Amino acid sequence: MARIPGGPGGRGPMRGPVRKPKDAKKTLLRILGYMGSYKLLLLLVVVFIIISAGADVAGTYFLKPVINEYIVPFIGKQDVDLSGFIRILCIMGGIYLAGALSAYTYNRIMLTISTKTLKKVRTDLFSAMQKLPIKFFDTHTHGELMSRFTNDTDTLRDLMGNSISHFISSGLTVVGVFVMMVILSPVLTVLVLFMLAVMLFVVKTVGKRSGYYFKEQQKELGRVNGYIEEMIEGQKVVKVFSRENQIKEEFDKLNEELCQAATNAHSFANILMPIMGNLSYLHYALTAVAGGVMAVFGWMNIGTIGAFLQYTRSFSRPITQISQQFNSILSALAGAERIFALIDEVPEVDNGTVTLVWANKNANGTLEESETRTELWAWKQPQADGSVVYTEVRGDVRFDDVTFGYEENKIVLKNISLYAEPGQKIAFVGSTGAGKTTITNLINRFYDVPEGKITYDGIPITAIKKPDLRRSLSMVLQDAHLFTGTVRDNIRYGKLDATDEEIEAAARLANAHSFIMHLPQGYDTMLTADGGNLSQGQRQLLSIARAAVADPPVLILDEATSSIDTRTEALIEKGMDKLMAGRTVFVIAHRLSTVRNSDAIMVLEHGEIIERGNHESLIAEKGKYYQLYTGAFEME
């Protein structure tokens, strides 16, 4: 009897509500760090902000000489000389024009800076996401991750493009106006300070509530977007089971929560402006009354009162703007924290040193590395003394007493020991949840094992760099995922430097060439929406062709033919045999007819291998496999 592989016999999130940024100062400094690449432009922005704020303050001061030296003396007179009056008006106009141009300029510059900075943030965010382990994506919803790229980046753009510059401009205006008011009338300035305290109290009280609900709005918006995305992807399932009413009820619930959060947020935000506006009118009236009384007693002239009253308006306006920006700044900082939290997520750990290289075999049987592609792959193992050892990639995969669980208190695999020798076909069968797919996830190092050891050609897979390990493997998954692009591009995804001839050969091998040639543009037909213009079986055939063009030493088929009808499956059986020839193959299948010719069949139950052997020996045992194969026991 042929040797049976398999080793020894026997049994072997939504985030909670974020009320405020955890560290607003740190987050703001990090945002400024991203903007630091544009120091010269930022310096220009500061200069133009100072000019804009200074022009507003200086222009208002000219009201005093205009009123005292021209308007009041000219009252009741005729044939007056207006040249000085016109000159000072031109000066005021020039100052205000300079201020307006400066405001336009710094806003345009900030738009450029924010757009380019946001590009860098998105790049870092996307790059960081590519380095995260599969576990991260298993524990976070797509909608939650998408909200980092949409909602959170939108608030960050508003912060960089508008809030920061307007906050600085308003602050400088407040300081400049306050200094001028002190110069004009220290007595009236005390009244201003009193009203300022009242305004700040209102801003603090209302703004605190508004800021909280704005963050709640962002959170609920992420949940709604995630739900919509999920329902769009599963629309066929929804319609098959006629669940339109149920999902509408769930959406209405989520939408109502978003509506409540948004209503509360905008209610507090919208009442702030009228309150501040009325307080500013009250402030203006009190100042006018106090100034009028002082003028009656000769303690203040009309020009000073006019300029001071204008400063009063100029003083309350930027405070109102600051209060409005305060809410958006808090919201943006909270969103930025979520972005930076994703960027700072611990990337997939890779301590491997062994790499995959092309090699040539010398006459004496030794291997040497090749810079050009060959038919032979080798593991390049650096040694402690600086030397390098090359090991031919054969596809010998072994599990030694492996125990694993996705969660610490929930074991999925228990004491798994098995081996697959080069060129052998190993099949895993068993009910859903038995641990079949988990084994293939461990081979790819999507997860690392806490107990036991997995070796590949005698090398612990933890010693092999993950990109090189995965480059030596190829997988065909049950759910075939295609990318937006041509049919040719999707097949070439398995080997980016594949020639058109290699792509066509791979398609023929997977029996996909025939239907491809019947597409409108053949191999150049554009696929969109995950290949929505193809049948499920055709998508699966393309994924098999993609694996074939990669030409790996180890092949993993996870229900690879589950979406292919029996006739098509029979047609590609010979092609699949060619694809598997000379390779170590791991097969997961519910159709037991597809695993009959496997060198070893592992029957899993509750994370343990309860039976192992080839088809004939397992049938003879009349155990679980026999029950599955004869239909005496249905797989769940």
Q: What CATH number is attached to the domain comprising 116?
A: 1.20.1560.10
Residues 243-255: pLDDT tens digits? Answer: 788 888 888 888 8
Average pLDDT along the chain: 82
pLDDT recorded at residue 525: 92
CA distances from residue 382 to 39, 316, 389, 394, 466 in whole angstroms, order as listed: 44, 70, 6, 19, 16
Average pLDDT over residues 321-344: 81
Q: Which of 187-191, 280-284, 417-421 has the lowest mean pLDDT?
A: 280-284
Give yes or no: residues 185 and 64 share one domain.
yes
Give yes or no: residues 244 and 385 share one domain.
no
Distance between CA atoms of residues 158 and 243, nearest Å? 39
Give yes or no: residues 312 and 370 share one domain.
no
Number of domains within the chain: 3
Beta bridge partners, 356, equal: 379
Residues 104-116: pLDDT tens digits? Answer: 999 999 999 999 9
* Cα 249 to the center of its chain, rounded Å: 28
CA dihedral sign of residues 110, 113, 118, 124:
negative
Distance between CA atoms of residues 356 and 393, nearest Å? 9
Residue at 142 is within a domain: yes
Distance between CA atoms of residues 8 and 395, nearest Å? 20
Give yes or no: residues 51 and 164 share one domain.
yes
**Most confidently modeled of 75-89, 161-175, 619-633?**
161-175
Angle, helices 500-509 vs 566-580, to 10°: value is 120
Residue at 8 is within a domain: no
Q: Is the pLDDT of residue 47 over 90?
A: yes
DSSP output for 259-318: HHHHHHHHHHHHHHHHHHHHHHHHHHHHHHHHHHHHHHTTSS-HHHHHHHHHHHHHHHHH
Give yes or no: residues 237 and 121 share one domain.
yes
Give yes or no: residues 374 and 501 share one domain.
no
Q: What confidence tier does 333 reach under pLDDT thresholds 50, 70, 90?
A: confident
* Percent of the residues in the chain that have a pLDDT greater than 90, as a whole number: 22
Average pLDDT over residues 24-51: 89
Of 309, 343, 377, which one is at a domain's C-terminal end?
343
pLDDT recorded at residue 390: 93
Residue at 419 is within a domain: no
Average pLDDT over residues 331-349: 88
Residue at 10 is within a domain: no
Would you call 555 helix, strand, or coil by DSSP?
strand
Q: Is the pLDDT of residue 279 over 70?
A: yes
Q: Is the pLDDT of residue 636 over 60?
A: no
Residue at 484 is within a domain: yes
Identify whether the C-beta of residue 563 lies closer than 8 Å to the C-beta of residue 540.
Answer: yes
Average pLDDT over residues 419-442: 88
**Most confidently modeled of 186-190, 280-284, 359-363, 401-405?**
401-405
Residues 356-384: pLDDT tens digits? Answer: 999 998 888 888 998 888 888 999 999 98
Q: Is the pLDDT of residue 8 over 50?
A: no
- What range defines the domain where residue 186 resides? 35-72+82-343
Q: Is the pLDDT of residue 99 over 50?
A: yes
DSSP letter for 463, please. G
Distance between CA atoms of residues 625 and 609, nearest Å? 12
Q: What confidence tier does 469 reach under pLDDT thresholds 50, 70, 90?
A: very high
**Most confidently modeled of 226-235, 450-459, 542-551?**
450-459
Q: Which of 25-39, 41-55, 272-286, 340-354 has the lowest mean pLDDT?
A: 272-286
Residue at 181 is within a domain: yes
- Let me know the angle formed at the C-alpha of 336 by 333 and 337, rounded to the nearest 5 degrees: 90
Residues 122-171: pLDDT tens digits? Answer: 999 999 998 888 888 888 877 778 888 888 888 888 888 888 888 888 88
Phi, then psi, of 241 in degrees rounded to 5:
-95, 10
Give yes or no: residues 364 and 335 share one domain.
no
Q: What confidence tier does 14 reach under pLDDT thresholds 50, 70, 90?
A: very low
Residue at 378 is within a domain: yes
Angle, helices 536-550 vs 500-509, to 10°: value is 120
pLDDT recorded at residue 9: 34
Beta bridge partners, 587, equal: 427, 557
Give yes or no: residues 480 and 553 share one domain.
yes
Burial 27-36 (b: 16+ CB within 10 A, else e): bbebbeebbe
pLDDT recorded at residue 1: 34
- As a residue count, the chain comes to 636
Give yes or no: residues 278 and 311 share one domain.
yes
Q: What confidence tier does 76 reach under pLDDT thresholds 50, 70, 90?
A: low
Residue at 451 is within a domain: no
pLDDT recorded at residue 211: 66
Give yes or no: residues 167 and 138 share one domain.
yes
DSSP output for 38-98: GHHHHHHHHHHHHHHHHHHHHHHHTHHHIIIIIIHHHTT--S---HHHHHHHHHHHHHHHH
Identify whether the C-beta of residue 416 lies closer than 8 Å to the C-beta of residue 400.
Answer: no
Q: Is the pLDDT of residue 17 over 80?
A: no
Q: What confidence tier does 19 reach under pLDDT thresholds 50, 70, 90?
A: very low
- Let me know the angle formed at the C-alpha of 389 by 385 and 395, rounded to the nearest 5 degrees: 145
pLDDT recorded at residue 240: 65
Give yes or no: residues 103 and 137 share one domain.
yes
Q: What confidence tier does 44 reach under pLDDT thresholds 50, 70, 90?
A: very high
* CATH code (residue 622): 3.40.50.300
Give yes or no: residues 193 and 299 share one domain.
yes
